[in-house]
Amino acid sequence: MTRTVLILNGPNLNMLGTREPATYGHETLDDIADMCRLTGERLELQVEFQQTNHEGQMIDWIHQARGRCAGIIINPAAWTHTSVAIRDALVASEVPVIEVHLSNVHARETFRHHSYVSAIAVGVMCGFGSNGYRLALEHFAQLIKA
């Protein structure tokens, strides 16, 4: 079985570190990518880490995971709340999905309470900051072992 886990990040997450630090913290996306790669090495997973501000690019990456990846960890950012296309792509990929949010979206504005992705995900990590990515990787490592 493949041990590749694809970690996908949606719009504006390239601005982490300077973007609303009271909500998203001071870590940059590069810091999170480094932490995920180290975690991947420890868990013997091959981690691929990507970010885009373009929905079509995100959909292409999701399609390319089909038959190739053991899991997708996705922080769809604002697309969480708007994109049927991302949800449909994730379903079409037939790859298990864990949804991650740095902030607790349920403690924020009402428009963030609905996710198009949650219902088709294995589970959701939300409000744990970058630890959510680590926990999601740990879960996939256990799934693969089982």
Catalytic, 101? Answer: yes
Q: Which of 78, 91, 92, 107 binds ligand DQA (CB under 6 A)?
A: 78
When the beta carbons of 78 and 92 are compared against ligand DQA, the nearer one is 78
Q: Is 114 labelled a binding residue?
A: no
Is 98 a binding residue for ligand DQA by CB under 6 A? The answer is no
75 in contact with ligand DQA (CB under 6 A): yes
Give the tokens for residue 78. 């604002």
Residue 75 among known ligand-binding residues: yes
Binding of residue 9 to ligand DQA (CB under 6 A)? no
Question: Least distance to ligand DQA from the beta carbon of 13, Å?
Answer: 6
DSSP character string of the chain: ---EEEEEE-TTGGGTTTS-HHHH-S--HHHHHHHHHHHHHHHT-EEEEEE-S-HHHHHHHHHHTTTT-SEEEEE-GGGGGT-HHHHHHHHHHT--EEEEESS-GGGS-GGGS--SSGGGSSEEEESSTTHHHHHHHHHHHHHHH-
Residue 53 interacts with ligand DQA (CB under 6 A)? no
Which residues are near ligand DQA by CB under 6 A?
12, 75, 77-78, 80, 101-103, 105, 112
Binding site for substrate: what residues are annotated?
Answer: 75, 81, 88, 102-103, 112
